[in-house]
Amino acid sequence: MMKTPFVTKAQVDEMIKKYPTPFHLYDEKGIRENARKLYQAFSWNKGFKEFFAVKATPNPTILRILKEEGCGTDCSSLTELMMSDKLGFTGDEIMFSSNDTPAEEFILAKKLGATINLDDFTHIDFLEKTAGIPEKICCRYNPGGTFSISTTIMDNPGDAKYGMTKDQIIEAYRILKGKGVKRFGMHAFLASNTVTNDYYPVLARTLFEVAVEIKEKTGVKLDFINLSGGVGVPYTPDKEPNDILAIGEGVRKVYEEILVPAGMGDVALYTELGRFMLAPYGHLITTAIHEKHTHKEYIGVDACAVNLMRPAMYGAYHHITVLGKENEPCDHKYDVTGSLCENNDKFAIDRMLPKIDMGDVLAIHDTGAHGFAMGYNYNGKLKSAEVLLCEDGSTKLIRRAETPDDYFATLDGFWDVDLNVK
């Protein structure tokens, strides 16, 4: 089974003349088309809005594209709030979903008019003391136990550090109502990277039923319900991608079954998708620079886990295309490795690929979310550039690669040597 890159070898050969590998490449056309399809899927819900999970791809150019497509931002930190503010996202366009939250982050979120999503019952008192209770607030729900679809266990919310129990969240709404809150929302994230059209509809049923119970017990009628993220992408080529139109229709049926009869047919639905919005529209472009023949066959590339941590951290699969050799037989078994002094710095293990020659360029798929964003500087490695493939076929550098000067910049007063590294 194969995945087709959104870029050709000829295009990448031209890019490499301007941007040395490795670099992350994003497909503007694919990003825009996908966002429009999401909005089409939920067009039946008058207040629907997607709040892109900034943590997945925190690049201003990407956020601007999504803003133009009607998306807001889902922030989880001070700097993500600052980036959203700088880009002109205001008030109801920002969700602030955090946990173990420092006071300064609540203060900025309230100042920006962001919708604060309280992760814990104790945060009510903490928020009131540090920033004050706003007129609009959201609470995060965790039903505990396991989350299943039919007989398949999708994830284990009971082990997750996020959210309140049902008793806690009902009491939270009662208290917040008494403190003058006028607009309420509910949020939950119960499973990660699901590749099934049933996840959102099943999650929606759980949340809609709790929303009706909240109204009955507290008199609080929710203004919005945030389905959060969890709709994933098929990293392996043998899986079918989610059908967002079918997902939207599935949620609509549950909405009309549960919320409409309860007099809650005007509740807005929100999503906080990251992976679904961006992952398939990003490639890590890297060059084969070494080969090694020992107990196994190794191909060493100029990228490493600093550029894409998921395979090293989770053992995650990312498909690899050897550009220009898409139609050649995959008759060579390789471990594709980076240069970190860690044995788990491998993009692929025992992967069947075409014969790779030194200088071949590889496109590692589905890196548009949680790719560059999870980068780090272990071994003194430097983060790569980010490049946008524009709709008209041109390219634009949207983040330059780090330099040694960047790496040493926080050592002011301690590092006075001019390295003259070119």
Kindly list the catalytic residues.
Answer: 341
Q: What is the DSSP letter of 393?
A: S
Q: What are phi and psi of 328, to 5 degrees?
A: -85, 155
Place of tokens 């996908």: 34
- Do 72 and 390 meet the contact criterion of CB atoms below 8 Å apart? no
Q: What is the DSSP letter of 220?
A: P
User: String of b and e for 218-244 (b: at least 16 CB within 10 Å)?
Assistant: bebebbbbbbbbbbbbbbeeeeeebeb
Residue 270 CB-density burial (10 A; 0-12 exposed, 13-18 middle, 19+ buried): buried
The distance from CA 399 to its chain's CA centroid, rounded to whole angstroms, is 18
Place of tokens 């959201």: 138
What separation in angstroms does the CA of 258 have from each of 109, 204, 231? Answer: 32, 10, 22
**Helix ranges restricted to H, 225-325:** 244-258, 275-278, 310-314
Paired strand residues for 399: 386
Take residue 121 and report the two structure tokens written for it.
């019952």
Report how far residue 21's alpha carbon sits from residue 131's, in angstroms, rounded to the nearest whole number. Answer: 45
